[in-house]
Structure 1
Amino acid sequence: MGLEVTEDLLQMSAIDSASEEGLRPQTLTGNISLKNVHFTYPSRADVKILKGMDLTVPAGQTVALVGQSGCGKSTVIQLLQRFYDPDAGQVCLDGVDLREINIRWLRQNVGIVGQEPVLFATTIGENIKYGRQGATMDEVIKACKNANAYDFIMRMPDGFDTHVGERGAQLSGGQKQRIAIARALVKNPKILLLDEATSALDTESEAIVQDALDRASKGRTTLIIAHRLSTIINADCIVVFDNGKVVEKGTHDQLMTRQGIYFDLVSSQIIVIHNKQKFKFQLDSYCHRLILFTAAGEETNNPAKKEVVEKKDKLAAASNDQGRRKSSVKGNLIDKAQVAPHTWRRIFKLSKPEWIFVFLGSVSAFANGAMQPAWSLVLAEAIEAYAHESKSHQKDKMRELSLLAVGIGVGNFFSYFLQNIAWFDDPNHETGVLSSHLAMEATLVQGAVRTSFGYAMLFFGNIGLGLILSFVYSWQLALVVGAFIPIILVGLQIRRRVSIDDSVTMGSWTLQEPDELGRCVKRMPQRPASDHKTANAMRIAAGVTACGQRRPVCYTSALRQVTPGLRKDLDTQQSVASGGCHDARKKDT
């Protein structure tokens, strides 16, 4: 395997990107032409991609390439960058075959923005400067303004010095795409290639990026590949590919009039969009009915209400057991001393299939706790060596400790090479994905078992090894320090009790009894929801908001989703609901 990898690395590419040979024209107009081009990928020699392709793109025009997947659109983009050479035919720039032009000069005059922008783990400014060697800061700022990226960059904490993280993990999709556009524009290219630059973005980000692309296309020869045909309606020319050939060409209106392949593509997308909108309308309608019936609190024989009531009953039944265990605001707290042992038994019983991981985690926590007293031995040895009168003894001891540190470093270095490389190449194991798992799933596990067990193992590792070393080196001092350990344990236990009391009290505030919450909702004024955002916000305010003395975070975030004119009304409804809850409590008591 290693020999095969070495052979691949030493194999010379048929196209040398570092070659200094070839023409470097003084001027570039931007006329592109493909003449009877045939092409197959080396890895799939039996599948012919382009079959006599003929295409002409006049300088300064925006030409869109459309067609089904696998028809050769992206292949044309790669041929223009000369990642491959055609098997037959010519790809020409201003009438000159690309094989006669210096490849580095060619790529310096061609800007490319792909579907998934590639950003390096450095600053925003450095990523943009990679577009052209020697680019000045003024040129970078100008490119960012043309790419509609300057404003959001200046809102960053460090501006252009903000680190984007691995593969741009610290930025959103729209922000990464605009930085990629700025990187393409900083070289001021005569030719701009857009390979599905907006297909991976949401609607809002797509509109912003599309505006930046429209700016960038002005005065340049632009080739666009897009599956969303709504983004290429204004192109100067639309070229339709099918089975490796050009089958249709013209403006949007001309192609729609012909009712050919392009017409079918547009019609199919309209049907898909219509179905999505229909489903969205049905979902919004259900949410609309849910909030109206919940807010009104009326008993009717309406079939729609029966549907809502049935779903509500199922939810109530599912949460009934949990509701009985929740304490009220006034008291009735469960005896934590009785719950804790039972909870731990259940957790360990559920963790039985993964006992090996529990064991390894416990050992790791114990070892982590033992690291501090173990390091104290090394530190003490170093200090003692310097205190020794003999210079030779000092050198020998320092050499021994230095070799120990180097050995640990070398072992750590080689451990990286023993890892499974394929695991790190998997897109599901990228830094952002793993960080998300650690932030969310690890937190959920800690929420179930809390961190007390891990802290306990860490504590025993620290205290245990510390006491052993203390008795070995000075048992008198160990007895003095050991006398304070029971006091520390009592303090930790008191802190744990207080923490549990606060958690249960907060839980009783956030989750009230279902009937009490129902009374709060019934006291809310009926308010028709005009759109799905308002319905969702009111549903959160009505169904999730608990009756407490302070406004929950979920209600505050819901207010941000509605129009400013409705915020005051919804806020008033929250106050009325809270007031109604307090009145209901007084009556119940």
Structure 2
Amino acid sequence: MDDEAMRGRGEDAEKGERERKTEGARKVPFFSMFRYASRADMALMAVGTVAAMVNGMGDPLMTVVFAAVIDCFGAGDNVLQRVSKVVMYYIYLGIGTALASFLQVSCWTMTGERQSIRIRSLYLEAVLKQDVSFFDVEMTTGEAISRMSADTVLVQDALGEKVGKYAQLLTTFVGCFIIGFVRGWMLALVMLACIPPNILSFAIMSRLRSQISARRQASYADAGNVVEQTIGAIRTQVISFNGEKKAIALYNTLTKRAYKATVLEGIATGLGTGGIFSVFFCGYSLAFWYGAKLIINEGYTGGQVVNIVLAMLTGSMAIGTASPSISAIAEGQSAAYRLFEIMNKEPKIDITDTSGIVLDDIRGDVELNNVFFRYPARPEQLILNGLSLHVPSGTTMAIVGESGSGKSTIISLVERFYDPQAGNVLIDGINIKSMKLQWIRGMISLVSQEPLLFMTSIKDNITYGKEDATLEEIKRAAELANATNFIEKLPNAYETMVGQNGAQLSGGQKQRIAIARAILKNPRVLLLDEATSALDMESERVVQEALNRIMVGITTLIVAHRLSTVRNADCIAVVHQGKVAERGVHDDLIKDPDGAYSHLIRLQQANTEETPEMPYVAGSRFKSTSLSLEQSIRDSPRNRRQHSSKSVGLSRSDDLFRHVASREEHLEIGDSEAPKKAPIGRLFNLSRPEAPILLLAIIAATVHGLLFPSFSIMMSGGIRTFYYPAHQLRKDSTFWALMCLLMAIISLVSIQLEFYLFGVAGGKLIERVRALSFQSIIHQEVAWFDDPSNSSGALGARLFIDALNIRRLVGDNLAVLVQCTVTLICGFGIAFASDWKLTLSIIGVIPFLGLQNYIQLRFLKGFGEDAKVMYEDASQVVAEAIGSIRTVASFGAEKRVITIYSQKCQASMKQGIRSGMVGGVGFSFSNLMLYLTYALCFYVGAQFVHDSNQPFKMFSEFTLPWFSPLLEFPKQVTWHQTQQKVENLRHPY
């Protein structure tokens, strides 16, 4: 990579960053995200929504049952009999929510997978149907891969289980408020004061996270673009020109931007979550104070007050709990906007347009009449300035000229990659604009300097010329292309995999496969764009012989830099400053010493004085000269940004084979090793520089984890005061109200610090891991990239997804682990301190919860890895298709690419659906066990209270602290799921 190219990429990355900062506020309406849902998806969403609503009513109804239990214990007599009747409602709720949970998770996961696959395929279809100018100025391969691997994941989250979770929590919110007002409207009305701050906290957090997410995704997209460009050009631009350090520097710059966005996201999330928790504790403070007044003055009961308070705060907390789902939906809406914007874009030159003239056949007469053309990427530069050129049917026209004169532009116009701004391009006297595009491209074959092969077998690569070709036709085309000898010497012959960009073949072998592909197309017009200029002498001789065979009787346009290769052409046209300056046969043109052709010959002779010309190749229609070490003849219009994107997925001249022509027939197949698991300890070792920050973050998370066990003590004390005499009730309720205010302040500070510090530590780790991984990748030996699992598309997707999982593990989920661990330990400690005998009798339910988590994780472990590998393979299809867009367009292979991509995604979808079903079973069982545990706790507590002299004290001091550890058990699933993902990462270092 040269300095100019690297600077260009950096400038384009900065430009992309500025442009996409504005996209955070742009999003599609919620229901518009479901525009691609089928009838089956509609049914799944309907069932999932109803199930989510049923599941959401579990919490409101549980507050009623809980209040009834409190009144049973507070009554003092027949406690066991009363509680035994009430706890049956917990069992009923458990069964109902278990069934609803399964339907909710499985239905929404299933429809999310189905719709996301459909969107992925339609997005790829929309990208592939864009004209070439779109890839000049609007889209690079890295951006395409990033959107396919990142934006589609965000959309899938917004279409799937997160919607079900939101519907569940919305139902909880509405149900709790209805119960609160029915049970006591006065207290419920006062408790409404908690709602506006909660909604405000959520709204601010959601908006900030959406904007920050858009900026982070933009940085990831630009970084992914660098990865794709670098790996795609690993042999030529990177290794050959020592571009590793420049690529690493640019990549690190972009990951630093992503780090800043990660820290900002931590601050925003901390403020929002801390605000929600603070409002929660303030609500209880208000409840203790005002509830006591209502008990004294309005005759409310303790259970009634508890029911109203729990209902109102559970409802308001449901909004806070829904914040991750709502944030995911908001991010999905922003991602959907970016995807749908491309999907709705209509190209000026549409390959899917079925209108236009279709003839029985064409003669191949080609004419450019007074053509003016500027490239969209460089509108200020006029490339063709009134150029006129006529190529009679069946003749060979050589087009020569200085670099930038417009030679390759003529080829692009004949293929109709672009339309001229003025003038006409005619075939058989008919303007190609009026012809059906797919049909006319089917009559034209293009062989370029850079043979573009796909990561599949030799046979499949050749059949891009004719998809339904028989094996005999394939072999005949290979024979005409002088490829039969080396193909049949390979272990798997025509079934041999060529590797990414044909990396396991030499330059000459790749070019002959490309020629066989062109032959199989049976073209009427053949376009040769520097087809032999990047080959060594022996390879050029063999390839030239193959070209000579197929050029007979076909209209041929040859763009050439070395003039000695075209001296036998039927006509030579010299292009200068966008016009045909001179034309004729070689012998006539050299007679004019002042002519443009003679001038070009003298320039080449001067340039070849230091590089001796290769000997004349006898028997060849066209003669070979020295191997050109420059590619200045490539007058491609692409600016630096697009040019670098073109290198991704394209195979340039292979330096590895260029100097070993004698070994051209040798194909080296590399063995791929089984993926290794990354040790968790190494990840934490990589976080050592942030050890002080992590220590402070863990302390903040510990304080966060202490909140609910401490609150359970306050809750039990506050509820107990509701059954005291009036004078003591006034005094104690004020005390507990002030304690809750203190908890509100502590929660606001600790949670903000927790999210900020873990954001810094996690962001630094992901920046470090990305940098080390990318550095390790580009320093691998060339053969390492021959492994299909190490293709540019797979590595680009893996760097994004795996690094994201690592950040979640050491950032968000480490915080959850610390919180849950502290809550569990403190909750159990309080319970043991209250009554160790009762605690031991109830602790028997814990193994069931642990077993449920273990079974669920074992299933998710296998499914997640399989789907991950399949999506990486699908990403490689996208990388090759976009990187080789001219080849795809020239051979009309858009539908074939989409079919291959859809097939790979279908397998991933099936794994995702299976994972969703298993997850549904797991969460269903988790809900059932939770309600059964509540029932058991209350029943066993009532059994012990039956013989106690202080029944309510026993209940409040023991039973309420149990809520904290039991509620934290399901959260462990999140930690272990992410841990498993990280352990399954295949690290390339």
TM-score normalised according to structure 1 size:
0.49
Greater share of residues in helix? 2
TM-score (norm 2): 0.30
Higher relative contact order (CA 8 A, sep 6+): 2
